[in-house]
Amino acid sequence: MASGEKNYFRHVVNARNDDFIISLMEKFSFQGYFMWFALIECCAELMLDGQDQPYTFHKSFLMKSLRCNQDKLDKCLAYAQDKCRISYTKAEDKYNLEIVNLPKFVGNFSKKTPNKRKEKERKEKEIKEKEKQVSSVSFDAVNDLYTRKIAKPHYKPSFLTPNSVDVKNFILCGEFIKTESDWENYFNLVLSSSFLMGRKFTLNLTRLLDPVFASNVLNGKYTSSSDVLEDALEKELG
């Protein structure tokens, strides 16, 4: 029995449409399909155990493994050899077999589909690492600051829940708003803008973490309430 990480062989999803497979099934019915892949399994098992081709099999083993009689076995092997898929010789009750390009069928079982939970944890860890690189303050600290200074005093509690894109935008903002003092200054500028605080829309955390919006606030774009400013903000908010 094969052991270790490599213990299977690749199976092409449209193998049934391969010209050789089609011809096998036309000649030996559906049993031809089974016999071919059962033969690969027998050889691949020995290959994965460290043995080199050609492989020697007793006729009784092949007849049992391929679920056929000796006449059909001989015909199937001869046909596969004619099609240049195998090379074999027969001596009394034994067959010496070599499948062309057998190594290409062998897969690596260690390449598993990533666990979704672990992948999510990996991405979250990656985001936190980026947070540390661009800012000396955490996202949670900024969220708490926003809640204390803007959300609770001015809006309903329903607006306290961060949007899923907030953390990513926080990382982008962290390139120019680095400390907790910087964030507090930013929120104070928002609160001091009669234009922003007097509007009907809600300045939720998602809006405040928009890098373009934050940059505009810090550059004093919303310090007046002119008609031009009104139009500009309408375009920004879509």
Same domain, 62 and 129: no
Q: What's the average model confidence in pLDDT over 135-164?
A: 75
**Does pLDDT of 24 surpass 60?**
yes
**Does pLDDT of 75 surpass 50?**
yes
Q: What is the pLDDT of residue 238?
A: 52
The mean-pLDDT minimum among 44-48, 106-110, 232-236 falls in 106-110
Same domain, 100 and 40: yes
Q: What is the pLDDT of residue 231?
A: 57
Same domain, 67 and 125: no
Q: What is the pLDDT of residue 225?
A: 52
Same domain, 197 and 162: yes
User: Residue 35's pLDDT band (boundaries 50, 70, 90)?
Assistant: very high
Whether residue 231 is contained in a domain is answered as no
Q: State the CB neighbour count (10 A cutoff) for residue 20.
A: 15
Q: What's the average model confidence in pLDDT over 222-229?
A: 58
Same domain, 137 and 98: no
CATH number at residue 33: 1.10.10
Same domain, 32 and 67: yes
End residue of a domain, out of 105, 135, 151: 105
Sheet of 86-91: strand order equals: 55-58, 94-99, 86-91
Whether residue 5 is contained in a domain is answered as no
Q: What is the pLDDT of residue 110?
A: 47
Q: What is the pLDDT of residue 3?
A: 47
User: Residue 2's pLDDT band (boundaries 50, 70, 90)?
Assistant: very low
Q: What is the pLDDT of residue 156?
A: 62
End residue of a domain, out of 105, 130, 165: 105
- Cα gap 191→204, rounded to integer Å: 13
Same domain, 101 and 176: no
Distances (CA, A) of 203 to 107, 152, 199: 54, 12, 9
Whether residue 68 is contained in a domain is answered as yes
End residue of a domain, out of 58, 74, 105: 105
Same domain, 133 and 180: yes
Residue 7 or 15, more confident: 15
What 3-state DSSP class applies to 106?
strand
Number of domains in the chain: 2
Whether residue 91 is contained in a domain is answered as yes
Whether residue 153 is contained in a domain is answered as yes
Q: For the segment 94-143, what is each residue's pLDDT rounded down to a tens digit?
A: 999 999 888 777 765 444 555 677 777 887 777 666 655 555 788 888 88
Q: What is the pLDDT of residue 179?
A: 86
8 Å CB contact between 85 and 99 = yes
Same domain, 51 and 145: no
Whether residue 238 is contained in a domain is answered as no
Whether residue 7 is contained in a domain is answered as no
**Does pLDDT of 232 surpass 70?**
no
Same domain, 96 and 161: no
Domain that includes residue 45, residue range: 15-105
Same domain, 215 and 163: yes
In degrees to the nearest 10, what's the CA dihedral of 9, 13, 16, 17?
Answer: -130
Handedness of CA 202, 190, 219, 134 (dihedral sign): negative
Q: For the segment 165-219, what is each residue's pLDDT rounded down to a tens digit?
A: 888 888 888 888 888 889 999 999 988 888 888 766 678 888 899 999 999 899 8
